[in-house]
Amino acid sequence: MEQQEAKKVIFSGIQPSGELTIGNYLGALKNWVKLQDEYDCYFCIVDLHAITVRQVPKDLRRRTLEVLSIYIAAGIDPEKNTLFIQSHVPAHSELGWLLNCNTYMGELSRMTQYKDKSQRYGNNIAAGLFNYPVLMAADILLYQTDLVPVGVDQKQHLELSRDIAERFNNAYSPTFKIPDPYIPKAGAKIMDLQEPTKKMSKSSDNANSYILIMDPPEVIRKKISRAVTDSIGVVKYSDEQLGVKNLITILSVITGKTPEDIEKEYEGQGYAQFKKDVAEAIVSELEPIQKKVKELLSDKTYLESIYKNGTEKANYVANKTLRKVQKKMGFIPKK
């Protein structure tokens, strides 16, 4: 027990706003699995974040449980980690508001993700999309988080979380732990299969751009065979061959081989066999996960017991921080 208290706290989350891709799996989930023994981990399904863009209610419901199932199927042990659904812990929304009043419009206007998205959605952009990094700060700060595993696209939001925390601590008194980014040793950023200069994203319009964790084997094989390469014809881990480089990354993360090993293995060969092997590696990695996800989704009672448990622990810790914040800001305790 004592040892558990000494463990550093990790918080991360995935939005249930679309189907998860192998980018989520290889870039995030697979690393989270490695953290669970060393850290006290909170892995959240951030459904409140998902609604910054309008969701079809029945899809949101289905995906929320699917993401939870994927967490577990990927190897995140619900006994060792706190797995929960963000909207089940009201402190996230509550602290979100309090922190909104401690965040400047200028700071939020500088967020590059907001700038990109507001260009894409024009005038029909929800205020929530502007405020979303503050909710993310609340997520992280509620648990006195030490480390946040995030990709580069979220680094700016994490820096904002740190700024908000520091400002609050200075204005009132030390309340929040200042979180650091956690950059995994073997960080993998999986790129779009059609435009390998972009990160693989579930929101791409072209289904050949990404592989979903739940894609059937024949779909995976087809998408990999169509993945963009180049006319150089050499399997090389090089910035001149971003398509091939991405496929090497995928193969390397799945098999544990280094990119150099892979280059050597395919020396003197074109892309045909290489692509076949990449596809088979993905298929055999995902098959057991897909099977487990389907099993889990058919056992709603089990899933319910997992998120109820997680919520209980998360609520307890989050409320402790929220009460402190409320008290320091001058709110009358409920008693």
Binding site for ligand TRP (CB under 6 A): 11-13, 15, 46, 49, 136, 139-140, 148, 150, 154
Alpha-carbon torsion, ordered 327, 329, 331, 334, to 10 deg: -30
In three-state secondary structure terms, 45 is strand
Tokens encoding 73: 């199927």
Give the shortest CB-148-to-ligand TRP separation in angstroms.
5
Q: Which is nearer to ligand TRP, 17 or 252 (CB)?
A: 17
Q: Which is nearer to ligand TRP, 129 or 140 (CB)?
A: 140
200 is in an annotated binding site: yes
Partners of 83 in beta bridges? 43
139 is in an annotated binding site: yes
Q: How many helices (H) and strands (E) does the chain have?
A: 15, 5
- The distance of Cα 30 from the centroid of its chain, to the nearest Å, equals 11
Dump strand ranges (E) for 117-182: 147-149, 180-182
Catalytic residues: 117, 199, 202
37 is in an annotated binding site: no
285: nearest Cα among 205, 211, 210: 211
In three-state secondary structure terms, 13 is strand
199 is in an annotated binding site: yes
Given a contact cutoff of 8 angstroms between Cβ atoms, the answer to whether 7 and 40 are in contact is yes
Give the shortest CB-20-to-ligand TRP separation in angstroms.
11
CB atoms within 10 A of CB 75: 14
Give the shortest CB-149-to-ligand TRP separation in angstroms.
7
Interatomic CA distance for residues 262 and 255, integer angstroms = 10
Q: Which is nearer to ligand TRP, 27 or 196 (CB)?
A: 27
111 is in an annotated binding site: no
Q: Which is nearer to ligand TRP, 65 or 148 (CB)?
A: 148
Give the shortest CB-95-to-ligand TRP separation in angstroms.
12
Binding-site entries: 15-17, 23-24, 139, 151-153, 190, 199-203
Binding-site entries for L-tryptophan: 139
Binding-site entries for ATP: 15-17, 23-24, 151-153, 190, 199-203
